[in-house]
Amino acid sequence: MSNLNIDISKEVAVLAIDNPSEKVNTLNETMMEEFSAFLDELESNDSLKGAVLISGKENNFIAGADIEMFKARETADEIEQLSLSGHRILNRIEESIKPIVVAIHGSCMGGGLELSLACHYRTASSHSKTVLALPEVKLGILPGTGGTQRLPRLIGIQKSLNYILTGKNIFARQAYKMGLVDELVHKDALREAAIKAVHKVDAGTFKREDKRSSMEKMIEGNALGRSIIFSQARKQIFAQTKGNYPAPEQIIEAVKFGYKKGKEKGLLNEARLFGELGATKESRALVNLFFAMTNAKKNPHQELIKPINKIGILGAGLMGAGIADVSINKGSYSILLKDRDLESTAKGEQKIWNDLDKKSKKRIITTFDRDIAASRITGVDSYEGFESIDLVIEAVFENLELKHQIIKEVEEIIPDHTIFASNTSSLPITDIAKVSSRPEQVIGMHYFSPVQKMPLLEIIVTKQTADWVTATAYDVGVKQGKTVIVVNDGPGFYTTRILAPFMNEALLLLEEGASIEFLDKAMKQFGYPVGPMALLDEVGFDVGAHVGETMKPMFDGRGAKSSSKAQELIDSGFLGRKNGKGMYSYSGKQKDINREIYTHFGGMNRKNPEMEIVQHRMALMMINEAAWCLQEGIIKSPQDGDLGAILGLGFPPFTGGPFRYIDQSGVQNVVEKLHDFSERFGPRFKPAQILVDKAKNNTLFY
């Protein structure tokens, strides 16, 4: 068998799952056929007591179903049949008269977890790399191989909905605590423990414990309690999704139906809903996003990468500490974290330690893993030790003179091969590199805050940046767990450049009389995770003003109207969340509209325009600017533009990004709307020529 390597040990068939053509295992049709053939053998072979499923990969069990199978099917019926064929195999596993035990080490995602749920016993390694999840909701679908029926029956409805509706990870010790896995062992003992488990189940000495709390059992044990759970889940989901994502609603429906009608009918209903969701435009957009993210993990110039062992990070504030955090945790790099004094450095180190310690207390990592990660970072207040640095990442304040000073200082110490990267959000890298003695080794690495959570890294290259420098920076980003896009240099690069007109339009709408809460509500309804007013508070008015000044000459050259309010607000003491005084006022966890700010925007009497007009004015500013960036070669492809907008700025993921939004809406429709807005609101809405040309030629971006 091409995917299953079978070995017999102590009357147990041990199946090592190993897809020879891929780095990770995925459930594909060939593998499922081989499972079916093996089950025939298991049932007919009297010398076998049972079977163990284990991975032949080092740190991966099964990363999920092969998404290519799903993508190749277009109609709801075709996608439903895919689900039903998976059900047939997993039902056979569940109904096998001989015990089948799964041994999990590494990632066990989607179809991999659903396969595990069909087995009679689950043993897992206690290693931090062992992570389980049902992430299908992130693809706009639901678990289609029994996940909506088996998981609730195993760990309870409330816990199941929490994980199926969010797709979030379940770490090994969490999984054991809730009863998702039956046994935790060291990864090196996993195989033998699983073989013993087969004999234990075969002998009838294993009895699974219901680990739900007495309150959970009481609420979930009657129809009224379940009804309340499903009702509350719907309310919470709608508050988060605003109805833009159909999958969460159908997930709740699938679980509810299964409890009402029984598991057999529940599985059939799951397959039907899986097919319907898989054919929606939202799911297709999210699947395309998944493939774009996967493609972005592949370095286009793998052969040019030079080894990076030690990184120097300048600035131990929020960004610097965040970059250090992902570098020691995911990248396993050695870090020198420098700030102006040891007290400042210590604050950054303490934040990193607190995050590590929190993970160890939650049993996500061991205390040994925590201590090893922490040992990779050294705080310094001088350039001592930078003689052996391979990469410097500067994360200081957005001031060109300061960055020039730092480049001059650091280049006196660092080796000739060292790359200098700036984590600037708007200053052109070409300007930063002007004082460098080796401008070909200067590059932009723009991280997003909070670094530990935001998935994007925007790499900015100049005309002088060497290809090996780009390839090496790309490799560092991937190892830090980031999705990487490479863009060409220019004011604001890509993400900040398309964000600036979006935020400017919000301020202009505020000047016209719209209220703070209305603008935030409108864009959250449109699908953004955060409204523009709340975002401005998070970014800070001072940073917003600086970015606006950097970008103003370019936008003014196109006849755009820029709001001049940012500096006026700063002068009046409004900085945003950092001083508790912005569009909102902050007192502890309390956040209220700061009505005082309206004195700068025409007074307290507010008059909100039509919501759809507001949504289109703001979204189209970002979309049109993305098209300008593609036209001018700032981004290299629509795919990069969509990734950058979604992962860096929260552009609604269910649309697929600005360019897929244009294709779905119709280029002609977008151009007509921009022309209309240009006449009504000013030349800043003039459509990029690339849009006009595509409308004329009736062509798409994809």
List, for residues 656-698, the tens digit of each pLDDT value.
999 999 999 999 999 999 999 999 999 999 999 999 999 999 9
Other beta carbons within 10 angstroms of residue 80's beta carbon come to: 22
Catalytic annotation present for 458:
yes
What is the helix, strand, coil percentage profile of the chain, to 5?
A: 55, 15, 30
pTM for this predicted structure: 0.91
Percent of the chain residues topping a pLDDT of 70: 100
Catalytic one of 114, 394, 458, 505? 458
Phi/psi region, residue 363 (left: phi>0; alpha: psi -120 to 50; beta: rest), is: left
In the chain, the N- to C-terminal Cα span, in Å, equals 38
Q: What is the pLDDT of residues 578-595, one digit of tens each?
A: 888 999 999 877 889 999
> Residue 1 above 80 pLDDT?
no
- Say if residues 386 and 410 touch (Cβ distance below 8 Å): yes
Q: What is the pLDDT of residues 532-579, one digit of tens each?
A: 999 999 988 988 888 888 888 888 888 888 888 888 899 999 999 888
pLDDT at 349: 96
Q: Which domains does the chain have, with CATH numbers?
A: 4-279 (3.90.226.10), 302-490 (3.40.50.720), 496-573+600-697 (1.10.1040.50)
> Residue 51 above 90 pLDDT?
yes
> Residue 266 above 90 pLDDT?
yes
Percent of the chain residues topping a pLDDT of 90: 88
CA 481 to chain centre: 10
Give mean pLDDT, residues 336-340: 96
Other beta carbons within 10 angstroms of residue 317's beta carbon come to: 15
Other beta carbons within 10 angstroms of residue 40's beta carbon come to: 10
Exposure of 607 by Cβ count < 10 A (0-12 exposed, 13-18 middle, 19+ buried)? exposed
pLDDT at 398: 87
- Say if residues 414 and 443 touch (Cβ distance below 8 Å): no
